[in-house]
């Protein structure tokens, strides 16, 4: 491959949702340039604690601005308007461990489609997917069998997957992460750099040497 984007995301982060949607929509184009995309579930709470960062909703100025930014982002990325549920923020440890298990045992498309539904259920259907019973319903909606659902939920409580989520989170921290989505990008020269947020893709494409069309102001026609 000519390059790789490792995306570290958490279902509690709406900006991880936008980034995941965007990368999936552009995967075919990226692969045409030899660039691979891989999603890595992390625990954003651990990243915040480990980096000393504070979530936007805990800071009054950021919380007030987030309303405007969220509306703009939803419009830009073409998703229904997000409404912050009463139970937000959730403890995302359980669903994130489940996603690691699914990633290891199922095809990429099924893993990513299931992952996206975590955001969809929480932000668009107002369902607390941190609760095992709701998580089981979500998995059932994706045609996982009762046996598979039990295996997934049991795995999320096992030492193996507790350690796996911790390792993913620590890896992001070791790269300098202070939030999500966090990207570690390798270009065709083998050089690696970090990128943060769902609005830095133009910088990423420049780094990867991928031709793209940036935001351009269209001059008003003279009458």
Alpha-carbon distance of 58 to 60, in angstroms, equals: 6
In a domain? residue 128? yes
In a domain? residue 222? no
Are the beta carbons of 70 and 12 closer than 8 angstroms? no
In a domain? residue 217? no
In a domain? residue 146? yes
In a domain? residue 113? yes
pLDDT number for residue 115: 98
| Plot region of 116 (φ>0 → left; ψ -120 to 50 → alpha; else → beta) | alpha
Residue 146's CATH number: 3.40.30.10
**Token digits of residue 17:** 């949702």
Domain containing 184: what range?
Answer: 3-208
The structural domain count of the chain equals: 1
Alpha-carbon distance of 73 to 76, in angstroms, equals: 5
In a domain? residue 223? no
Our answer to whether residue 141 is catalytic in this structure is no
Instruction: Spell out, as residue ranges, where the chain has pLDDT lower than 50.
Output: none
* pLDDT single digits (tens) 23-79: 999 999 999 999 999 999 999 999 999 999 998 888 899 888 988 999 999 999 999
In a domain? residue 91? yes
Give the up-direction half-sphere exposure of residue 202: CA atoms within 13 A in the CB hemisphere.
5
**Token digits of residue 208:** 């990867």
Q: Give whole-number Cα distances, 222 to 99, 166, 179, in Å.
A: 54, 59, 46
In a domain? residue 109? yes
pLDDT number for residue 1: 67
């Amino acid at each position: 491959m000519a390059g790789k984007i490792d995306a570290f995301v958490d279902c509690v982060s709406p900006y991880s949702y936008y980034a995941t949607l965007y990368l999936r929509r552009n995967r075919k184009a990226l692969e045409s340039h030899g660039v691979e995309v891989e999603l890595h579930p992390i625990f954003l709470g651990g990243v915040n604690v480990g980096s000393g960062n504070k979530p936007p909703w805990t800071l009054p100025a950021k919380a007030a601005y987030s309303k405007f930014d969220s509306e703009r982002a939803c419009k830009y990325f073409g998703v229904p308007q997000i409404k912050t549920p009463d139970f937000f923020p959730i403890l995302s440890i359980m669903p994130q461990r489940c996603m690691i298990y699914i990633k290891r045992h199922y095809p990429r498309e099924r893993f990513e489609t299931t992952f996206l539904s975590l955001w969809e259920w929480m932000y668009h259907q107002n369902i607390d997917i941190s609760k095992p019973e709701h998580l089981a319903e979500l998995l059932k909606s994706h045609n996982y069998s009762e046996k598979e659902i039990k295996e997934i939920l049991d795995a999320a409580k096992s030492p193996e997957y507790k350690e796996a989520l911790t390792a993913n989170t620590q890896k992001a921290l070791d790269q300098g992460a202070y939030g999500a989505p966090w990207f570690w990008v390798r270009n065709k020269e083998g050089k690696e750099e970090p990128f943060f947020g769902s609005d830095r893709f133009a910088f990423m494409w420049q780094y990867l040497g991928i031709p793209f069309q940036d935001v351009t102001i269209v001059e008003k026609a003279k009458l």
